[in-house]
Amino acid sequence: MFLRKVEISGFKSFADRTVFDFAPGDAAAVRQLGITAIVGPNGSGKSNVADAIRWAIGEQSSKNLRGKKSEDVIFGGTVKRGKVGSASVTLHFENHDHRIPIEYEEVSIQRKLHRSGESEFLINGAKVRLLDIVDLLAKSGIGKDSYCVITQGMSDAVLSATAAERRSIFEDAAGVKQYQIQKERALRKLASTTENLTKVDTLLVEIEPHLKMLRRQAERASQGKDVASKLLSKQTELYGFLWHSFQGERGGLSQEREDLARKAGMLERETDTLRAEVAKLAGTLEDDNTAETLTRDATRLRGELNGIERDAAILSGRIEAERERQKDREEIRTIPVDLGYIRKSLEQIRANQNSLFERLGLVEKLEDIQDIREFARAIGQELVDLDVKVEAGKVTEKVIISLPENEKKVSDERLAASLVEKATLEKRMETIRTDIAEKEKSLHLEREKGRESRERYFLIERQVRDRDRELSLAKDRLNDVKVRLARVEVREEDLINEVREELRTDVRELSWDGSSRDRDALTRDIVRLKGEVERIGAIDPLIAEEYEETEKRFNFLTTESADLRSAMDSLQTVIKEMDERIEKEFSSAFNEIAKKFEHYFSLIFNGGKAELVRTKPKAKPIETDEDEEGAEEEVPADVAGIEISACPPGKKISSLSVLSGGERSLTSLALLFAIISHNPPPFAVLDEVEAALDEANSKRFSKVLSELSEKTQFIVISHNRETMRQANLLYGVTMGDDGSSQVLSLRLEDAEKIGKVSG
């Protein structure tokens, strides 16, 4: 993997589209293009190339891009040239080894910024988020905080940093960031889990006494619940049996209605066919308008009669259903026989006797005497029954439950309207039948001619009448079934209302095992259980529900507390494992970088001694109560850091602060080369990091750079001639008259062939 090409447009001083191609021609030649030098005078804008690459890989800080606000990266215009509307930088990578974890062998990453503030991020032309670009590049070892883009200030910052800050730099080089991220996540989860555990334990302390109180109340209510449960069971058993019985009856009647309707339809079609044949024969007997008119009128009247009969049947069903609804329901009650009851019964018998005397005075026919005789027997039977009840001391009587007055009034109005409508229909049917009879009689007189035809006509006519009779019988049976079905539906509706009122449920949800039930016995059990419920008193269902809910919550919180404690143990194990892994890999990387630092320091300084030393963490006392023994103990105050010891040849230096500017630069470069050699990035941009070196040190710097270029592609922004000599590809940047940067490129081996470059 290597950086093949950079396209810059509108970014800082690069107003026009500018391309830096680091592998011109054959892409395989990149192995010979390990170092690319970008040179130019001060103020030409060459350092903007490093800023452009840094911006494209995700840099968000305007300060790090040498600006004050994000809009500063867009070319702002000059005296001779206007400003542009957007800035764009595209990085083209050769990804043959798939170090960037996507399937493409060529990857382009583009970042755009418009003056409106709108940003665009693209990978191979597809829009993505900045986070997606940062994550993708981080997996390949490229990032704004890595050693891919290094300025002179960044290299010196390693020496100026504290020991702990240097450790962070070495951790990046050691590749333990992923473990640190896991550890930080585990620490955040541990803190959150600890907080949640405290909340759960607090809730458990609050809930436990309340749960004990609810348990006592629920136990006191259990007796009433048992009786209520038995009552509910009996009610469910009875209502379920009744509902499924009604369902079975309704299903049978519905099937019978469908069969009769099918039969009536078939008879009606046969009758219509026969009538059509009758009409045809009538036309052959007499070709006159009279017969046709009579036939047409009779057919029309029969059709009208069939429709009215259907309407009348439906109306009869409604009337029967309404009468069924108005019937009084009987309820058997057992009451004690006392003086008030006897007095009330005698008053009723006396009233019946007075009514008997009045009817005797109004007798006109023999039939009336028979009715009066039956009435007298009934009065005598009432006296006998009263005597029996007085001896028994109690009486079971039927209580008639009628519809409420308002419902009875509405029902009477509907029934009266239906009866009027039915009478009107019956009168109309009678009129139509009379008209049909007259039409048929007249038609018969018109068709006396032609014996054979008439015989055929009369035969079919008889068949029509037979079919009419069968059809009439079928319709009568159909009407009867409809009436019975309407009665069942009324009983179903009453049962639905009763179940909804008493059980607060839908009767359709009640189950039934299919066996028969003793309706009267179940009714008596229900009445008895209702009495027991009233004696025990009303049961507050909220107590039991609240107890169950509180107990569930208490059990849940108890389980949650145990789970949280287990999770804390697991998180602490994860944190310990991450610490061990970080320490192991960091130690390994640190030892290797320390050796390479000594090597490169000695190489660059041509001697001397340098060393990386891991410092131990400091300790601070824990403040405790003065009365306690051992009032102080030490705990780690911070993580271990890294100290740098550097002593050029021929000197005795105890601190980095006494190093000269050139020596600091060389020391930071030695450390930089050590880190790069340990964990080589795909490419590295060095922005004038060797500016403070003299000619001799520049040669040693160039030599090391050439060695490292075998594993890392270097793009060096420099004024140094030695660096230019090591470069395989040279780009020159100059500032044009219009204030924008211009670029020239040259491959040095080609220039040497044509004699354009001299040693």
Tokens of 275: 């009538």
Are the C-beta atoms of residues 123 and 107 closer than 8 Å to each other? yes
Tokens (6 digits) for 264 = 């009536």
- Across residues 8-24, what is the average pLDDT? 90
Highest mean pLDDT among 10-19, 217-226, 229-238: 10-19
Q: For residue 492, what are its two tokens?
A: 């179903």
Contacts of 467 (CB under 8 A, 6+ apart): 267, 270, 271, 274
Residues 620-640, mean pLDDT to the nearest whole number:
45
Distances (CA, A) of 147 to 659, 661, 667: 24, 22, 16
Residue 41 token pair: 């005078």
Q: Are 97 and 2 in contact (CB under 8 A)?
A: no
State residue 622's pLDDT score. Answer: 45
Residue 625 has pLDDT above 50, yes or no: no
List the end-to-end C-alpha distance of the chain, in Å, as a whole number. Answer: 32
At 353, is the pLDDT very low, low, confident or very high (cuts 50, 70, 90)?
Answer: confident
The long-range contacts involving 405-408, CB below 8 angstroms and separated by at least 24 positions, are: 408/326
User: pLDDT tens, 251-281?
Assistant: 777 787 788 888 878 888 888 887 787 777 7
For 61, which DSSP code? Answer: -
Q: Over the range 7-20, which residues count as b (16 or more CB within 10 Å of their CB) and which as e?
A: bbbbbbbbbbebeb
pLDDT for 419 beyond 60: yes
Locate the domains of the chain by residue range.
1-148+681-759, 217-327+404-536, 329-401
DSSP for 676-725, please give it: HHHS--SEEEEESTTTT--HHHHHHHHHHHHHHTTTSEEEEE---HHHHH
**Predicted pLDDT at 759:** 35
pLDDT at 92 over 90: yes
Q: Is the pLDDT reported for residue 610 higher than 90? A: no
The hierarchical CATH code for the domain 1-148+681-759 is 3.40.50.300
Mean pLDDT of 507-519: 70
CA distance linking residue 176 with residue 171, whole number of Å: 6
Contact 373, 379 (CB under 8 A): no
Q: Please give the C-alpha separations between residue 672 and each of 163, 588, 596, 601, 668, in angstroms, as whole numbers.
A: 16, 18, 10, 10, 6
Average pLDDT, rounded, for the chain: 78
Give the separation between CA 258 and CA 265, rounded to whole angstroms: 10
Which uninterrupted H or E stretch holds 119? Answer: strand 119-123
Bridge-based pairing of strands 149-151 and 394-401 is unpaired
pLDDT band at 29 (very low <50, low <70, confident <90, very high): very low
Q: Examine the pLDDT at 619 and tell me if it is beyond 70.
A: no
Q: Which two tokens stand for residue 586?
A: 């960091």
Band (23; pLDDT cuts 50, 70, 90): confident
What amino acid occupies position 571?
L
Determine the Cα–Cα distance for residues 377 and 354; give it in Å rounded to an integer: 14
